[in-house]
Amino acid sequence: MIPELGHFALILAVLVALILGTLPLLGAHSNRQAWVALARPATSALALLVTFSFACLTQSFVTSDFSVLYVAQHSNSLLPLQYRVAAVWGGHEGSLLLWMLMLTWWAFAVAMLSRQLPEAMVARVLGTLGLVAFGFLLFILITSSPFERLLPAAAEGKDLNPLLQDFGLVIHPPLLYMGYVGFSVAFAFAIAALLSGQLDAAWARWSRPWTTAAWVFLTLGIAMGSWWAYYELGWGGWWFWDPVENASFMPWLIGTALIHSLAVTEKRGSFKNWTVLLAISAFSLSLLGTFLVRSGVLTSVHAFATDPARGIFILIFLVAVIGTSLALFAWRAPKVGLGGRFGLVSRESLLLTNNVLLVVACATVLLGTLYPLLIDALGVGKISVGPPYFNAVFVPVMSPILFLMGAAPFARWKEASIPEIARTVRWAMLAAALVAIALPLLYGQWSALTALGILLAAWVTFTTLTAFVQRVQHTRAGQSFASAALKQPRSFVGMCIAHFGIAVFVIGVTMVNSFQDEKDIKMAPGETVNVAGYSFTFNGVKSVQGPNYTAAQGDFDLAVNGKFQRKMNPEKRNYASSGMPMTEAAIDAGFLRDVYVSLGEPIDRDRPEAEWAVRVYYKPFVDWIWAGCVLMALGGLLALLDRRYRAKSRASASVKIPAGTQQA
């Protein structure tokens, strides 16, 4: 009964979405107040219906109702409760419903927090979101309903993929989807601007906090996925340039460009067309990501065995959304106009350069991701584009971005002078150069690439610090430095923290790539292996019983200079229901390094008490990678809470509603 109610709610939701996607838009166009006024109640109804439907599916998982096909495929009665709940989005159908849920909640948040906006604008924004929701709901109902029955009911569920039975799964997809879907709001604002032909500083101020909020979620979602891969997959890597990773990274790159472009549009009225185009691109790339993951066209660690009909539906949807919005853009953009003029050297021009470079970076990722598909479609053969391509292209494109990032805050709007900027940052440059020479030497090996990474990270750090101190000095007016520092606007402090986060991230990437050490080795009980000054003594394995798996648990002693530090217990699990093996690495995390042990396989399957293949890693500064991402997200959050959004519109409170969603 409950699954049928959920299904029925989805069908009603399609109808509501259709109303939301048509009447308010027409009403705004032909100035019919009654239709315009429909937008908010329809949005609320949509959110309510989809939330109810999602709750029904969750209920089926919690009670292990194996007469529902999707539940039988992705859950198991032995599965602990928290994973039964997370299993709701452990497969294709449920994750689409989660996507949908996020979309309606974003729309609901817009409806609630947009009292300051003109009614016609609200109707256009919510109407656009309604159209997107309509497409996705149709997709769910036609090709991927999670409520299909399995008769007779299965006696036991197939179980959730063991890789997904982890805290990471509980929060990675919701965070990522919040980010992905959040760009739909920026997209809807852009479409609304095109439809109305009105794009001014006020528009930029309204859409800015929404874009930043989506970007914050996306940043955290990507970082979470990367961290999860690092500790859960047992390969010790944090980024693989996997097509699906790329699919989440592309909207991030464009989203980052969009945030900065919006800032210029708000402050100077420039880049209007560009901003709109970026907003359309960010959401289109989110959709493309969904298509790539869901259609099974790619070889990826994320790929599910899928039904081609789904891929075709999403492709059609993708083409419809991108095609319509680009056509609208071509038709209406001249009306929106380019906005203010600026000099060849100015803060605008530096930001624009970085924007273009971010788009170029995104384009190279897109090329590397789609190239194999293109070649395949042409029938020339099957190829793969490996990580070396991305690394080779990314370093040269990102380096100027980081350099300009340090310099841009010192450039004046409209017209800046290079000698003046150079004078201001000369100490930062000198300090960065010194660090870049010294730090790699301290680690025993100097190489140009390592030095470049450190140089850029130090440069960003010192210039950001200089910008902050300079601004505090300017606004001090007799107060103490500390109290003036505390009174800086949150958006400025947020920018400094986010830029500092980039520096921390770059240090992490540079150090771990330059100085990591790894060994794959056969170890018998009693043997010791040394990696980068750490010694690991293997004391054998013992059998351990988990709630729904049995594991061989290794026992290692970690020592430095002969001094015992701690025990490390990596596991090789075998999940009862699926028979799937899984590696659980043991990680000793530290501020300056991680050390990492994982079990491969027993050399002789019949004698697990004897030798094992073991993988040992030393990873300097690896946690800085995720710490940097968290700082970026924190910076975004602070910017979001800036007073001016609260004074002029209540949009800043937007963060409250999404935050509550994480308990789902």
What is 205-225 written as a DSSP string? HHHHHHHHHHHHHHHHHHHHH
Q: Rule CB under 8 A: choose which of 299, 445, 470, 483 binds other proteins.
A: 299
Residue 501 half-sphere exposure toward CB, CA atoms < 13 A: 22
Nearest CB to other proteins, comparing residues 74 and 332: 74
> What is the bridge-based pairing of β-strands 549-560 and 528-531?
unpaired
What is the amino acid identity at position 454?
I
Nearest CB to other proteins, comparing residues 11 and 356: 356
Residue 571 sits in the site that holds other proteins (CB under 8 A): no
Range in contact with other proteins (rule: CB under 8 A) among 106-114, 316-324, 575-583, 625-633: 575-583
- Minimum Å gap between C-beta 390 and other proteins is 8
Range in contact with other proteins (rule: CB under 8 A) among 37-45, 194-202, 220-228, 381-389: 381-389
Angle, to 10 degrees, between the axis of helix 347-377 and the axis of helix 243-268? 150
Residue 445 sits in the site that holds other proteins (CB under 8 A): no
Range in contact with other proteins (rule: CB under 8 A) among 332-340, 388-396, 498-506, 550-558: 388-396
Helix (H) or strand (E) segment spanning residue 576: none
**What is the C-alpha to C-alpha distance for residues 575 and 552, in angstroms, rounded to an integer?**
12
Residue 397 sits in the site that holds other proteins (CB under 8 A): yes
- Minimum Å gap between C-beta 626 and other proteins is 21
- Quote the Cα angle for 371-373-379, to 5°: 105
Number of other CB atoms surrounding residue 315 within 10 Å: 15
Q: Rule CB under 8 A: choose which of 304, 443, 446, 492 binds other proteins.
A: 304
**Residue located via tokens 């996705």:** 136
> Mask of contacts with other proteins, 608-647, x by CB under 8 A?
---x-x-x--------------------------------
Per the CB < 8 A criterion, the answer to whether 68 and 147 are in contact is yes
Nearest CB to other proteins, comparing residues 153 and 434: 153
Residue 446 sits in the site that holds other proteins (CB under 8 A): no
Residue 303 sits in the site that holds other proteins (CB under 8 A): yes
Residues 608-633: b if buried by 16+ CB within 10 A, e if exposed: beebbebbbbbbbbbbbbbbbbbbbb
Nearest CB to other proteins, comparing residues 45 and 297: 297
- Minimum Å gap between C-beta 360 and other proteins is 6
Number of residues interacting with other proteins: please give it, by CB under 8 A. 48
- Minimum Å gap between C-beta 605 and other proteins is 10
- Binding residues for other proteins restricted to 259-298, rule: CB under 8 A: 296-297
Residue 576 sits in the site that holds other proteins (CB under 8 A): no
Per the CB < 8 A criterion, the answer to whether 1 and 111 are in contact is no
Per the CB < 8 A criterion, the answer to whether 397 and 361 are in contact is yes
- Minimum Å gap between C-beta 472 and other proteins is 35
Residue 151 sits in the site that holds other proteins (CB under 8 A): no
- Binding residues for other proteins restricted to 27-86, rule: CB under 8 A: 73
Closest among 274, 130, 276, 283 to 193, alpha carbons compared: 276
- Minimum Å gap between C-beta 503 and other proteins is 24
Residue 528 sits in the site that holds other proteins (CB under 8 A): no
- Minimum Å gap between C-beta 291 and other proteins is 16
What is 291-349 written as a DSSP string? HHHHH--S--TTPPP--HHHHHHHHHHHHHHHHHHHHHHHHHHHHH-------SSSHHH
Distance between alpha carbon 171 and the CA centroid of its chain, in Å?
12
Helix (H) or strand (E) segment spanning residue 545: strand 534-545
Q: Rule CB under 8 A: choose which of 67, 198, 550, 578 binds other proteins.
A: 578
**What is the C-alpha to C-alpha distance for residues 143 and 310, in angstroms, rounded to an integer?**
6
Residue 305 sits in the site that holds other proteins (CB under 8 A): yes
Closest among 214, 304, 293 to 246, alpha carbons compared: 293
- Residues forming the site for other proteins (CB under 8 A): 73, 161, 163, 233-235, 296-297, 299, 301-306, 344, 360, 364, 367-368, 371, 381-386, 388-389, 392-393, 396-397, 520-522, 578, 580-583, 598, 600-601, 603, 611, 613, 615
